[in-house]
Amino acid sequence: MSTIYNDNAPAADAEGFDLKKLMAKLMGNWYLFVLGVVICFSLAYFYARYITPDYDISSKIIIDDQSKTPGAGKSGMMIDFSDLFDLPSNAENEIEILKSRSLMAEVVGDMQLNVTVFRKARIRSIELFDDIPFKITINTKTDTIKSRMYKIVVKDGNMQLTEGTESINTAVGFDKKIATSQYDITFSPNASVPLKDDTYEILIQSPDGRIEELMKNFDVALTDKKSTTLNLDFKYPNPKKGERILQKLMVYYLRGNLENKIQIADSTLKFINERLALVQTELSGVEKDFEAYKQENQLANVEEQSKALVSNASAYYNKQNEIDVQLAIIKDAEKYIKNSNSSNRKIIPSTLSVQDPVFAAAITKYNELLLVRDEQSLTYKDSNPILKNLDDQIENTRQSLVKSFSAYEESLIASKKKLQSSNSEITGQIKSAPRKERIFLDFARQQNLKQELYLYLLQKREETAITKTSTISTARIIDPAKSAFSPYKPKKSVYYLMGILAGILIPLAYLNVKDALSIKIEDKNDVERNTSVPIVGEIGNNDGQESLVVTNNARSVISEQFRALRTNLQYLFNSSQTNVIMVTSSMSGEGKSFVTLNLGGALAISGKKVVMLEMDLRKPKLSSNLGLDISNGFTNYVVSDNTDIQSLLKPTFFHENCYVISSGPVPPNPSELLLSDKLETLINELKKTFDYILIDSAPVGMVSDALLIEKHVNITLYVARQGYTYKSQLNILNNLSVEKKIKKAYLVINDIQTKKGGYYGYGYGYGYGYGYGYGYGYGENLKPKKKHGNWLSKLLGK
């Protein structure tokens, strides 16, 4: 059974979340968690039972989306006149009105909600509403009221009022005024509720503070984004009182909505009447001016007269265009004819549109002669009389056409001038028509606008008058205020669950804080975070009184741990030579003498010859643990001339192969003795006889004795004790290793408390025969079982 840990251990053990460590912490401190769960669950149970419950009161209101009056759409106006005066009745605005402070203030004032009466129970007070045996009237004297809690004790029909802030302690009679610094209180009997012996509490608050308190528990929301139905939600400890408050709030809202409609109707009627008088005057003035204008300009129908002028102008313009076209055609044809000769005769295009039939017939005759001449030229030569006759006819016809072109062009120009003269007169009349028509249209537009507005105002006056006499609210209640059957708070299951979680988390937080604040080594992580020196063994807590726990027949867990240490050391030594082991620590009390003694025993029962040197000359313990006298020891050997080493050896009672050399009397100069050459001589002589030399030295953190011995040893075992060695003291080992003042140093963790979850965080609760750690361990069948076999090469530097 063995274990060796080094700085190359897996990351799961070195850092990060360790589930085994957490489970070990839970199991090692199970009583804390059981106690925490019991206490926190009990507190949650009593809190959920006696806390004042809150009930959820709900109701529904629908907002009617009233359509606009039908007359407005037919009047031709761009907007409905009522939009200027009527408030939008959409659901979002109504939500803000319902949540307004002024609305809640009306409810608080009407129901006097700033005065709350409680009946005193054994643990908590219960708010009353309609079962109060008396009525309370408050007449305030100041603007600002500070909260006061009054206590009334009713006994045998008598009432006693007490209050601590103003030192009030007085008897109370019905209909008698009780004066305080802020208000006068008057109590009157409630005929429906008899006065019984009991204790009551009266809380009188500022109205403003009570309004804010109630508004925090009130909410309004749309039931659906596409609907105008509002869901009102109110939370209150007393379900009946909460229903009354919510119902009263809805009543005030509907009444305010109705009053607002009536007020809007009155203001609308007043405005309409004022506008009617003004529009009537303006309409009469526009009609008189329009009549005078038509008489002055002799206008009957401006539109028809304008159409006739435009039609005549268009006819003249078309005729003039036709003449221009004819002139252009004549000019082109004339140029075409003039350029024709006997060698270059061309047919006049038939596409020319000439309106004169005589002129058109002449062109046709000319073209026919050209065609005949072309046909004859295929049969006859140019000198033939027939062709010459045709040429003469063509030339005569051409000359005649040239003269005809000039006469026809002159007639067209004369017709064009006449048309232009007539067209100018009509154009002048048309130019003056738009101005007259524009002025005419302005008058007509003003007349129509004023007339339409006048008729619209008359219609709206009638509609508003009818609406005022039949005004109803745009909102109505769908569901009246109703409280839920059971309170929504407290949710006992949630409180119970929170109690159980708190019972687990509080002890866990306590243990984590305790670990974080601990300055001593508590687990393996503390060692690995503070040093990289390999751990070669872990020794559990020794519950017995004996210092020697390793004997031939010992089969305890701690004896197996020393055997595991022995096994691990075998991989660190050269078996062909005597090995010198020095055991030291940071300070006294960490168990280095205990480790030396039992490691020597473990090596001896394995058949090796072992000698233990008690070199803690300042405070020797090894000999006393074995019941031996420290006389005739190392100090005697150094200061005397005696060189008989055999006389220094003292046999041990537990094994014949194990011997001890005591420290001898405590010297005044231990360091000087350790510098003596006789120490080296002693160790060299012992190497001839023994397989292992164990040196129990002084704590290296206290004195430098161990450093003087270190040059004679093969390895150094540095003992640290769980719950005893300070984390900062591991820096001593780190510095010595870095400065190479100690070669081949290894850690041995001593006094591991298995009942606290163990040095690893997951305990040593297993029995004999179960291997653990890294290196070579033993399984259940006690056969070697290899785990991470590369540890040896890393430790040896290979």
The DSSP secondary structure of 635-652, one letter per residue, reads HHHHHSS---GGGG-EE-
For every residue of 552-588, which 3-state class applies, written as one string? CCCCCHHHHHHHHHHHHHHCCCCCCCCEEEEEEECCC
State the pLDDT confidence band at 758, using cuts at 50, 70 and 90. Answer: very low
**Beta-sheet strands, E only, within 41-176:** 55-63, 115-120, 125-127, 134-140, 148-155, 158-163, 168-172
For 646, which DSSP code?
A: G
pLDDT tens, position by position, 199-257:
999 999 999 999 999 999 999 998 887 788 899 999 999 999 999 999 999 999 988 87
Q: What is the mean pLDDT of the chain?
A: 78
Highest mean pLDDT among 74-88, 493-507, 761-775: 493-507
Residue type at position 120: K
Q: Give the CA distances from residue 230 to residues 92, 94, 98, 217, 433, in Å, rounded to whole numbers and listed in that order.
A: 9, 9, 10, 16, 64
Secondary structure class of 262 (helix, strand, coil):
helix
> Tokens 């081949």 identify what position?
744
Given 3.80.10.10, 3.40.50.300, 1.10.150.530, 3.20.20.70, which CATH number is that of 544-724+737-750?
3.40.50.300
For 24, which DSSP code?
A: H
pLDDT tens, position by position, 607-660:
899 999 999 998 898 888 888 888 888 998 888 877 788 888 999 888 898 999
Of 615, 582, 614, 593, the C-alpha closest to 736 is 582
- The answer to whether 336 and 402 are in contact (CB under 8 A) is no
Q: What is the DSSP string of 504-564?
A: HHHHHHHHHHHHHH--B--SHHHHHHH--SPEEEEEE---SS-S----TT--SHHHHHHHH
* pLDDT > 90 fraction of the chain, expressed in percent and rounded: 23
Measured distance CA(791)–CA(786) in Å, rounded: 11
Measured distance CA(166)–CA(168) in Å, rounded: 6
Measured distance CA(105)–CA(215) in Å, rounded: 10
Element (H, E) at 186: strand 183-189
* pLDDT > 70 fraction of the chain, expressed in percent and rounded: 76
Measured distance CA(676)–CA(636) in Å, rounded: 13
Half-sphere exposure of 307 (CA within 13 A, CB side): 4
Of 239, 100, 208, the C-alpha closest to 144 is 208
Token pair for 673: 């003795």
pLDDT tens, position by position, 286-338:
777 767 766 676 565 656 666 666 666 666 666 767 777 777 767 766 666 66
Residue type at position 339: N
Element (H, E) at 176: none
Sorted by where each begins, the domain ranges of the chain are: 302-432, 544-724+737-750
Q: At what angle do helices 239-296 and 101-111 cross, to 10 degrees?
A: 130
- pTM higher than 0.85 for the full model? no
For 435, which DSSP code?
A: H
Of 23, 1, 5, 32, the C-alpha closest to 526 is 5
Measured distance CA(47)–CA(35) in Å, rounded: 18
Count of positions (residues) in the chain: 798
* Of 679 and 323, the one with more pLDDT: 679
Of 333, 471, 476, 464, the C-alpha closest to 409 is 333
Element (H, E) at 188: strand 183-189
Measured distance CA(176)–CA(705) in Å, rounded: 96
Measured distance CA(349)–CA(123) in Å, rounded: 125
State the pLDDT confidence band at 120, using cuts at 50, 70 and 90. Answer: confident
pLDDT attached to residue 349: 62
